[in-house]
Chain A
C-alpha cells in the first residue's frame, strides 16, 4: 500500500487533544440568566502523529470547525487539554502562546474573505514576518518570491490584489500565507470546498506536494468524503460534538462500523453506474442545544437499543485499531 511508508514515518505525536469541550451558554431575559448550553464540542479526544494527515468529517454543526478553532486557540475551551509538541496549550501565558502559534497555521474555506482586499499579495505574505520580526526588507521580499514559486504562482503576482485572482489562485495565496513561518501543523478547514472540481484537484495535489517537501502535519476538515479519503491517513467522523468513529482511512471506508458512518457513506452519490444499497436517515440532525440523551445518534439510528437512550457509548477500540463509539460493539 502506498500510504504505509507515510504512516510509519509518523511515530512521534505532534498534537494530542483529550476530553476537549466547548459549551456556549444560552442566555435569556433582563438578567441574562443561563437557560441552557449549546454543546458545540462535547468531549473530543484524538492525536496526530508528525507528518500524518488526520481527516475530520461530519455534517454542518457537528463541531469540526469549532474543534479546529480550539486547537489553534482562536476559541477558549470549556474543558480539556491540548498538547502540541509536548506543551500544554490551554495553560500557556499569551506571550508563550505567541511563540507556539508560529508552528500552527490555518487555511480557510473562502480565500477571498480571508485575504485583505486592499493589500497586495506581497504585503499579505510579508505581514506574518513583520509580526514576528523575521528578516530584513530584502530577505522578506525574497521569501515572498520563493513562496509564490512553492505554490505554483507567477512571481509577477506579488504586486497584485486579491480581486485580480480566480478562486483557485486565491486559495494558493492562502496556502502560501500559511507557509510563511514554516509551521509544523496546518489546520485546513474546508480548503477546497469552494472550488470547481478541476481546480480542486490542482489544490489537493499542491497540498500533498507541500506536505512531502516540508514534512507538514495536516488536520484536514471537510464534509466531502471522497476528498478526505484521498488525502488522509486516518479519519475521524464527528456527530453532534463527539467523535463517533476514528480509524485508518482504508479500514474506515472499507468497513465502517458506526451506523452513522455507514449512513454518511451510503448517502454520497456515486458517478459509477452500479446501484448500491442506500441507508436514508430520517429527520434532521438534532439541535446541539437540546442533544438527545445517551448516544446522540439514537434518534436516527436503525439499530437503536434501550441502552443507547440512556448511556453515552465511549470511544473504544474494536478489532484492529478501529475506534468506535457505539453500544453495538460493546
Chain B
C-alpha cells in the first residue's frame, strides 16, 4: 500500500480571497497527500484555513475567492484544470463531503429518501425502484433502524445524530474513493460522537476508502487518524504520523496546543496557554506567522519564513529551531 500512487495529492495550493480592497492567501502554499485507505486529520484553530482547504479540493470556493496556484491531483488528474462537467463526475461521486451541521446541509422540504436518491439519480444509471432499494440499503448500512419508514421522514423529524447518519449515507451513496469530513461530530454530544466515529471507521475499513477529517479536536484525531496536518494562519506548520505528532510535537504551536488541553494540567493548577491570538490574514507577518506568540522566537523567525524540515522519523515541521537540529529542508 505504501508504494501506491496517492489518491489525492495537493501541491503548493494557494487560495486567494479579497478583503478591504486587498487580496490575501487564505491558504498559502500547502502540500500533502492521502494514500488509499488512509485517514488524514487536518487540525488547527478558527481561521487557519482548514475548511478553505477542503472547499478548494471540492471546487466549492465562491467568487471572488479563487484557487490561485498549485495543483490538486486526484488519482493523477488535476482537479483545478477540469471543466465543470468533468468535475461533476468526480465530485459527489468519487470524492464526497460531509459537513458540520447536518441540519443546514440537508434540504428541509425534501424527504430523507428523496435526497439520497437524488445523488443516485445524478451519478448512477439505476432505475426508480433500484434507487429506492439502494437508499434503504444505505440507511441500514449507517445503522438507522426502521430504514423503510425513515425514507419518508423530513430532516426536522430526526435527531442530530440521525441526521449526521443520513449525511454519511448520502456521502457513501456512490462508494466514494475519498471522503472529506469537515467537523463531522462537532455539533454532536460525546456519546453520539462516539457512535458516529465508530461508524466512519467501520465504513472506511469495509470500503478501503481514504478519508480527510477536518477537526479542532485533538482527541478525535488521536482516535481516528493515521496522519495529521497541523495548520496555522494558512500554512502547514507540522505534519506526520499521528502518534509522532501527538506524542512528540516539534513545532512550538503544536506543543502549545497540546499543553493547553485541560487534561494535560495537573489538579487545580493553571493551564498552559498560547499568549495572544491568531493574527488576521491582512496582518500576517513576513517571517514565521507564529513568531509573535512563540516562546522560542529568534531574530531569524521574524525575517524569514521557515519551510518544512524533517523533525522526526517521518514528520516535518516548519520551524527554524527544527532546522538547527540538523534537518534538511524539503520545500
* A interface residue numbers (CB < 8 A to B): 1-3, 6, 59-60, 166-169, 196-202, 204-205, 208, 223, 225-227, 229-231, 263-264, 266-273, 278, 280-281, 284-285
Contacts and interface: CB of A to CB of B under 8 A. Distances in A.
A271 B271 contact: no
Contact of A271 (B161, B218, B278): B218
Contacts of B162: 284
A168 B274 CA distance: 12
B194 A205 contact: no
Contacts of A2: 267-269
Contact of B273 (A1, A201, A263, A280): A201
Contact of B194 (A3, A169, A280, A284): A280
A278 B194 contact: yes
* Secondary structure call for the B interface: helix
Nearest to A168: B277
Given A166-B277, A198-B274, A201-B271, A271 B263 contact: yes
A229 B271 contact: no
B108 interface: no
B243 A1 contact: no
Nearest to A225: B190
A269 B268 contact: no
Contacts of B46: 167, 196
B246 interface: yes
B216 A284 contact: no
Contacts of A264: 190-191
A110 B246 CA distance: 30
Contacts of B257: 197-198
Contacts of B133: none
B223 interface: yes
Interface of B: 45-46, 159-162, 189-195, 197-198, 216-224, 243, 246-247, 256-258, 260-265, 267-275, 277-278
Nearest to B266: A2
Contact of A198 (B192, B219, B273): B273
A222 to B, nearest CB: 10
A271 B243 contact: no
Given A263-B191, A272-B222, A230 B265 contact: yes
Contacts of B272: 201
Given A59-B189, A202-B275, 9 more contacts: A60-B189, A199-B45, A226-B262, A227-B262, A230-B262, A269-B223, A271-B264, A280-B191, A281-B191
Nearest to A60: B189
Contacts of A199: 45, 273, 277
Contacts of A285: 159, 189
A205 B190 contact: no
A263 B159 CA distance: 20
B260 A197 contact: yes
Going nearest first, the 9 A-B pairs with the smallest beta carbon separation are: A269-B219, A201-B273, A59-B189, A230-B262, A196-B45, A198-B274, A201-B260, A267-B194, A201-B271
Contact of B270 (A208, A269, A284): A208
A284 B223 CA distance: 22
Contacts of A167: 46
A197 B45 contact: yes
Contact of A270 (B191, B222, B269, B275): B222
Given A201-B260, A281-B191, A273 B243 contact: yes
Contacts of A225: 190
23 contacts: A2-B267, A2-B268, A59-B190, A168-B277, A196-B46, A196-B216, A196-B278, A198-B257, A201-B273, A202-B275, A204-B262, A223-B189, A230-B262, A230-B263, A230-B271, A268-B219, A269-B222, A271-B219, A271-B258, A280-B191, A280-B194, A281-B195, A285-B189
